[in-house]
Each structure stands twice: as C-alpha cells, then as structure tokens.
Amino acid sequence: MTKDFSSVEKKLNLKFKNKDLLIQAFVHRSFLNENPDFKIFHNERLEFLGDAILEHIVTEYLYKKYPKEPEGELTIWRAALVNTKMLAKVAEELGFNDFLLLSQGEAKETGKARHYILADSFEAFIGAFYLDQGLEKCREFINKNLLKELPEIIESGIYKDSKSHFQEKAQEKRGITPTYSVLKESGPDHNKRFVVGVFLGRELIAKGEGLSKQEAEEEAAKNALGKKEWQ
C-alpha cells in the first residue's frame, strides 16, 4: 500500500486519533482477496454504521429545518440526499477516488460500479469518523459536505425519481406508504446483484433488479408505476 492517508486528513482539515479507522473506510473487500495479509479489515461494517449515522443526522436536520413540511416530503428529500448518486458525487468531490484500496480488477472499473464503491466508502468514512470523533463532529462534516446540496435538490426538483413518485402516488391513491424487501441476492460479496420487491401492504406490486439495493428499489418503483399506470 503506497497511499498517503495523511493527505486525506489535510484535504478535509481533520485529524483522526485512530489512523487504522481512517484507512479501513477505504478498504474494499476485493483488495483483501489479493492482499490477505493486510492487517486492516474491509469497510463493510463501517459502511453499515455510517449509513445509520448519516440517516439520523440528515433526518434530524430536515425535521428541524423544515417544521411545516409533511413527513412524506421530508422522506423524499432525505432519499435524494443519501442515495448512491449523491453520495458518490460528494465522495468524488472530496477526492476519495484517490484513496480507495481495490483489487487490480476492481481498480479498472469505472462508471456505475465505481459510483457504488464511492458511495459505500463515504458511508464507511462517516462510520469511522463517528467512532473516532463522535456525533457532533460527524454532524459538522455532513452539514458542510452533504447538506449543502439540499437547496439545489429542492429548487431543481431532481428528487422526483421513480421511488419518490411511486410513494407520492401510493399515498395519494391508496393511503399507503410503499415498503421494499430484498427477495433474492446473488453473486460474490464484492459484486452482488439484488432483486427487490415493492409492496403496498402485503401486496407485491412489482420487482426490480440492480447492483445495489437502492438501484433495485428504484427499478422496482419504476416497474410499479408502469404496472399501476400511475405515470
């Protein structure tokens, strides 16, 4: 490993007490397949933690910032802030691409596959930062680097993706908020495919497939809109 992680700290103007946590945020599972003696584990547990921290902070911010907005609208805005596309965009702006520890094969991948890895690394970084610095520092970081995107999201209406659209229609026409469930997973851990079902109550409306749960959910919502003719 030849990456200088102190430059990440310098770029972001922060200092980790535990440098291993910082490095772990960038370790993709595929890297360990080629470097089994590497002393630091991959970032998937940190990603799990960071996802929850991120959602908590964004939810609290929206709740306090927009006291008159209904829950449905806040849910849609939150989804637009924490989806793969947005997290990958922010991670790329922060220079995370330069610090990812990937297998040689994975390092050659670009486009959609890299976006998922970048988004996952952003969540893992939040998890690592939380463990190292606590919730308040995480809140400051997310306010500065992610929540700045919200005004443009609201103004441009780019949050109106299929999932958001289907939720609006389902609440309007049926008085139900859609739920999503993973029906099938396949492929190796570093390159999984997901089949997700979207439900209204107990009724399965449609299925979707993707390289991440989010992508599969979006595809399921798109298919559900077509099936219900709610376009």
Give catalytic residues, as residue numbers: 51, 123
- The answer to whether residues 53 and 136 touch, using CB atoms and an 8 Å cutoff, is no
C-alpha of 69 from chain center: 24
Residue (of 125, 129, 128, 126) closest to 99 by Cα position:
125
- What secondary structure does DSSP assign to 68-129, as a single string? TS-HHHHHHHHHHHHSHHHHHHHHHHTTGGGG-B--HHHHH--THHHHHHHHHHHHHHHHHH
Residue (of 23, 31, 28) closest to 5 by Cα position:
23
What is each CA distance from 228 to 104, 164, 220, in whole angstroms?
44, 15, 12
**Is 178 in a helix, a strand, or coil?**
coil
Residue (of 158, 7, 173, 15) closest to 96 by Cα position:
7
Pair of tokens at residue 116: 């998922």
Q: Please tell me the distance from the alpha carbon of residue 144 to that of residue 146, in angstroms, as a whole number.
A: 6
Q: Please tell me the distance from the alpha carbon of residue 153 to that of residue 145, in angstroms, as a whole number.
A: 14
